Amino acid sequence: MIERLDHIREVEARVRAACDACGRSTESVEILPISKRQPLAFIREASELGYSRFGENYVQEGSAKAQELPHLDFVLTGPLQRNKAKQALQSFQEIVSLDRPELATRLRQVAEDLGLVRKVWIQVDLWGEATKQGGCAEEDLQALLDSLGDDPRLPLQGFMAIPPPDQTEAFSAVARLRQEWQDRLGLPLRISMGMSADLEEAIAAGSDQVRIGTAFFGSRAALH
């Protein structure tokens, strides 16, 4: 626990320093711990430090954790197949990786059937990396938003992005996209970008949420 506490405090210090450097308040940036392949004990320890939201990349693993820890909120940060939409909406409080119109249509159908409200983020790909990380190309955003249809059961929160490694200037492209669509939609939109290696650059570009895995928990463990 002591080693993990050191990791967590170091991440918090990095976020504070990054916010100070660009004149932002620390409260304006959410640290979202990515708990994939981390045991329940580590998540419980983080919750005792005040963390109540955790990101998971896999529907089955995240659903199992959500059942074991019902007092915590889990959000899906990894790719989602349409045939797992029902399980995802039942288990996760937010879907951060909405990336295509047909998935939006399926989520709307399931949310209506289940009578659930779940926040969604659109994962964008501005760099032609779709085959690697997933994401909606900029030219396809309108079609995806049309499929989402301002559905009150799936309120849009903003954009999530995973820029290519070592292209931190790409963060400014996501910030531009956010501003453009805020103006078009007349809605406040957040952006989720930045991970362990590049959270400072992401915060400087305006990220509202950084998704931190290894730097937060330490090396991932194998689940048993």
For residue 223, being part of any structural domain is answered with no
All residues at 6 or more sequence positions from 109 whose CB lies less than 8 Å from its CB, including other chains: none
In a domain, 92, yes or no: yes
Q: Where residue 93 sits, what CATH number does that domain have? A: 3.20.20.10
H/E stretch holding 183 reads helix 170-185
Model's pTM, two decimal places?
A: 0.93
* Residue 79 in domain: yes
Instruction: In whole angstroms, give the CA distance from residue 137 to residue 163.
Output: 13
Q: Closest Cα partner for 164 from 129, 137, 123?
A: 129
Domain contains 222: no
SS3 108: helix
Tens of pLDDT, residue by residue, the chain (224 residues): 667 899 999 999 999 999 999 999 999 999 999 999 999 999 999 999 999 999 999 999 999 999 999 999 999 999 999 999 999 999 999 999 999 999 999 999 999 999 999 999 999 999 886 445 689 999 999 999 999 999 999 999 999 999 887 777 789 999 999 999 999 999 999 999 999 999 999 999 999 999 999 999 987 654 43
Is the residue at 224 inside a domain? Answer: no
Residue 140 domain-assigned?
A: yes
Listed in sequence order, the residues at least 6 apart from 121 whose beta carbon sits closer than 8 Å to its beta carbon are 94, 95, 96, 97, 98, 156, 157, 158, 159, 160, 190, 192
Range of the domain at 164: 2-217
Number of domains in the chain: 1
Backbone angles phi, psi at 163, to 5 degrees: -60, 155
